[in-house]
Amino acid sequence: MSNPFGMRPGIILLREGTDTSQVGFCHFPIFFSFFSLENYHISPFIDTVLSYHPTTIYCINFIQGKPQLISNINACYAVSDAVRTTLGPSGRDKLVFDGSNVTISNDGATIMKLLEIEHPAARTLVDISMSQDAEVGDGTTSVVLLAGEVLQQIKPLVEEGVPPQIIRRYLSEAGQLAVQKVLDMAVPFEGAAKKDMLLKCASTALNSKLIASHQDLFAPMVVDAVTLLAEKDRLDDVNSLVGIKKIPGGDVRQSFWVQGVAFKKTFSYAGFDQMTKKFQDPKVLLLNVELELKSEKENAEVRITDPADYQKIVDAEWQVIYDKMDACINCGANIVLSRLPIGDLATQYFADKGLFCAGRVQEDDLRRVSKATGAAVQTTTTGLAADVLGTCGVFEERQVGDQRFNVFTDCPLSLTSTIVLRGGTEQFIAESERSVHDALMVVKRAIKSGSVVAGGGAVEMQVSRFLRNHALTIEGKGQLIVNAFAKALEVIPQQLSDNAGFDATDILSALRRKHAVEGDDGKWFGVDVTTGSVCDTFASGVWEPSDNKSNSISAAVEAACVILSIDETIIAPKSQDPGANATGMMNSQGKPMSSMMGNAMAASQGGARSGQLGPGVSYMKGRG
């Protein structure tokens, strides 16, 4: 019998699709509904294929077209549902336990990453939350929620048979209009008002975090650290120049910011206590050299015949290390730091000569000391000269809680700074770090975009109203699609109210009225999460960088369009391997998947995505 297919089919075992069949590709308990065996059956088609290539066929997924779309939409909605309750100042945190580690977080990107979502389409949502994190640093929950809601609102249209191509076209048009509207509404800031604006942006970002009640402490730290870099046009180096040190223990209010470098005291040897621990204008020497007697740690075997030779070897060893130490002292250094160990002999020697030394300094700390003081890291002590030394205004060893810190302040190249976080538990500090990082990124983004919009759902309500009006100018299905998108935007104020324990229906109708009736006067009305009513959130200082909103709208629309472009998922044999990638994915004709799906897959694996929705919307990078 000849093979009717003419080629080896690269496809796999059959699964009968149901709308909910794919919701279960997630390791998180709430999504437990993995494929069951009943979902698989062997069709006559597969019977035929199996008879030709019994060993090469694994699975054919028969969900196609509408059921596939609905299935993907359901999966995405389920994923967005998982982070829904974390939104806003009254949002709760998620505790994610992966079998060994516990993470408590409110950050959308962190939760999405920890959920280990395997559903191929739903991973697009993970990707947009990661890219929002990399691009803006905040708004990671909002973007997932919005994308899930857009799909949910579009679902009835898909069920009614509106072609996905039409939906995609109108959605992306509406997305562009929405982004433009956000940019039109944005309020620019400069001059004296700038610092105040930035403080409010940082506070808004911290509002929803575990450390919200300490924003008076953290917001100024974050703004100072970022403006320091902005003045020298080094905003892009926030991550490398602003160090965040987590020191478990003590009280969260013992956290502090140092304009300079601070790191925890390293392991020290005898002689350390006699060292000078405070210097004014010291000379700093940075080394990548071990200052330890070699014989202490190495088991070298040396054969000698004359006992006097033994003394020569010992003397030579001592001479080597003394030469190194003298080189450090002679070049004029007061502080010697090394990435490698500095042993007890050197510690005592330096102490006697009035120097301070620390070995085993972490590489990033050493790099930041180098950037702050201007010292160049040396890999040898031979030929040390004064020009490799750095300096700072004050160096001291400072006690913070029950820990000691080496602190370099008033550094001449004062770009680097360090935020030292304290707190009771490791999880608390880890979440504080993520929150401070979000706030840093928000301030950076606010400075870059130079404009803000009001949060609390105000901007979403105004854009929603604008789109509803715009929808009236469209005839046919486009009107329904744009209206569905406008409705989806309301998910933000609705969820903010829900999470705060207020009646979302009442608040939404009050907001709709404000935005419709009062026109521009009512445009900044959003949810007042303290009283359960509506208020002018611009006036109450709930401010977010305009890029945050424009990025999240464009990313959500982009993700929805990608999901709507998928009409079939095929589990390729390669995907059964842990290291599998999207190249194994094919459509039912054995051809590579559509480029959109390919993009979605590449993106979900950290690849770059492309596309731009409008002016001012910067490009979404891959997973950050």
Ligand X SMILES: Nc1ncnc2c1ncn2[C@@H]1O[C@H](COP(=O)(O)OP(=O)(O)O)[C@@H](O)[C@H]1O
Catalytic (active-site) positions:
107, 140-141, 438
Site for Mg ion in 541-560 (CB under 5 A): none
CB of 255 to ligand X, least distance (A): 20
CA atoms within 13 A on the CB side of 578: 0
Token pair recorded at residue 527: 């949810």
Nearest to 593 by CA among 568, 574, 576, 610: 568
Please say whether the beta carbons of 567 and 65 come within 8 A.
yes
CB of 467 to Mg ion, least distance (A): 24
Question: Residue 1: how many CB atoms within 10 A of its CB?
Answer: 6
Q: Which residue has the tokens 């059959």?
A: 14
Token pair recorded at residue 79: 């994923």
Give which of Mg ion, ligand X, none residue 110 binds (C-beta under 5 to 8 Å, depending on kind).
none
Give which of ligand X, Mg ion, none residue 243 binds (C-beta under 5 to 8 Å, depending on kind).
none
- AA identity, residue 147: A
CB of 188 to ligand X, least distance (A): 19
Residue placing its CB nearer to ligand X in the complex, 143 or 369:
143
User: Which one of 132-140, 304-312, 426-434, 566-574 is the stretch in contact with Mg ion (CB under 5 A)?
Assistant: 132-140
> Measured in Å, how far apart are the chain's first and last C-alpha atoms?
53
Measured between alpha carbons, how far is 91 from 95 in angstroms, rounded to an integer?
A: 13
CB of 208 to Mg ion, least distance (A): 5
Please say whether the beta carbons of 131 and 624 come within 8 A.
yes
User: Which one of 137-145, 329-337, 381-389, 507-515 is the stretch in contact with Mg ion (CB under 5 A)?
Assistant: 137-145
Q: Tell me which DSSP letter residue 623 carries.
A: -
Nearest to 147 by CA among 134, 160, 129, 135: 129
Is 141 strand, coil or helix?
helix
Q: What are phi and psi of 347, to 5 degrees?
A: -60, -45
Token pair recorded at residue 140: 């990671």
How many secondary structure helices (H) and strands (E) does the chain include?
20, 18
Residue placing its CB nearer to Mg ion in the complex, 229 or 542:
542
Give which of ligand X, Mg ion, none residue 423 binds (C-beta under 5 to 8 Å, depending on kind).
none
Give which of Mg ion, ligand X, none residue 89 binds (C-beta under 5 to 8 Å, depending on kind).
ligand X
Give which of Mg ion, ligand X, none residue 204 binds (C-beta under 5 to 8 Å, depending on kind).
ligand X
Measured between alpha carbons, how far is 551 from 556 in angstroms, rounded to an integer?
A: 8
Token pair recorded at residue 555: 């990313």
CB of 543 to Mg ion, least distance (A): 12
Please report, as ranges, the residues that interact with ligand X according to CB under 6 A: 86-89, 91, 106, 108, 138-142, 204, 207-208, 455-456, 492, 496, 527, 529, 537, 542, 544
CB of 555 to ligand X, least distance (A): 12
- AA identity, residue 311: Q
User: Which one of 30-38, 131-139, 168-176, 557-565 is the stretch in contact with Mg ion (CB under 5 A)?
Assistant: 131-139
Measured between alpha carbons, how far is 168 from 561 in angstroms, rounded to an integer?
A: 5
CB of 140 to ligand X, least distance (A): 4
In this chain, which residue has its C-beta nearest to ligand X?
Answer: 455
Nearest to 621 by CA among 549, 558, 563: 558
Dmax (CA) for the chain in angstroms is 105
Give which of Mg ion, ligand X, none residue 603 binds (C-beta under 5 to 8 Å, depending on kind).
none
Residue placing its CB nearer to Mg ion in the complex, 199 or 407:
199
> Can you give the length of the chain in residues?
624
Q: Where are the alpha helices (DSSP H) in 191-306?
A: 193-207, 215-231, 238-241, 294-297
Give which of ligand X, Mg ion, none residue 142 binds (C-beta under 5 to 8 Å, depending on kind).
ligand X
Measured between alpha carbons, how far is 418 from 415 in angstroms, rounded to an integer?
A: 10
Q: Identify any residues that bridge with 356 across adjacent strands, giving them in sequence order.
A: 335
Residue placing its CB nearer to Mg ion in the complex, 127 or 138:
138
Give which of ligand X, Mg ion, none residue 529 binds (C-beta under 5 to 8 Å, depending on kind).
ligand X
Q: Tell me which DSSP letter residue 186 carries.
A: -
Measured between alpha carbons, how far is 339 from 500 in angstroms, rounded to an integer?
A: 50
CB of 106 to ligand X, least distance (A): 6
138 binds Mg ion (CB under 5 A): yes
Residue placing its CB nearer to Mg ion in the complex, 406 or 435:
435
Nearest to 224 by CA among 542, 443, 545: 443
Residue placing its CB nearer to ligand X in the complex, 208 or 381:
208
Token pair recorded at residue 594: 């559509």
User: Which one of 121-129, 130-138, 325-333, 349-357 is the stretch in contact with Mg ion (CB under 5 A)?
Assistant: 130-138
Residue placing its CB nearer to Mg ion in the complex, 21 or 132:
132
User: Which one of 135-143, 146-154, 313-321, 420-428 is the stretch in contact with Mg ion (CB under 5 A)?
Assistant: 135-143
Give which of ligand X, Mg ion, none residue 542 binds (C-beta under 5 to 8 Å, depending on kind).
ligand X
Residue placing its CB nearer to ligand X in the complex, 91 or 260:
91
Task: Output the CA torsion 314→318→320→325 (10° steps).
Answer: 170
CB of 229 to ligand X, least distance (A): 22
Would you tell me which residues interact with Mg ion (CB under 5 A)? Answer: 138
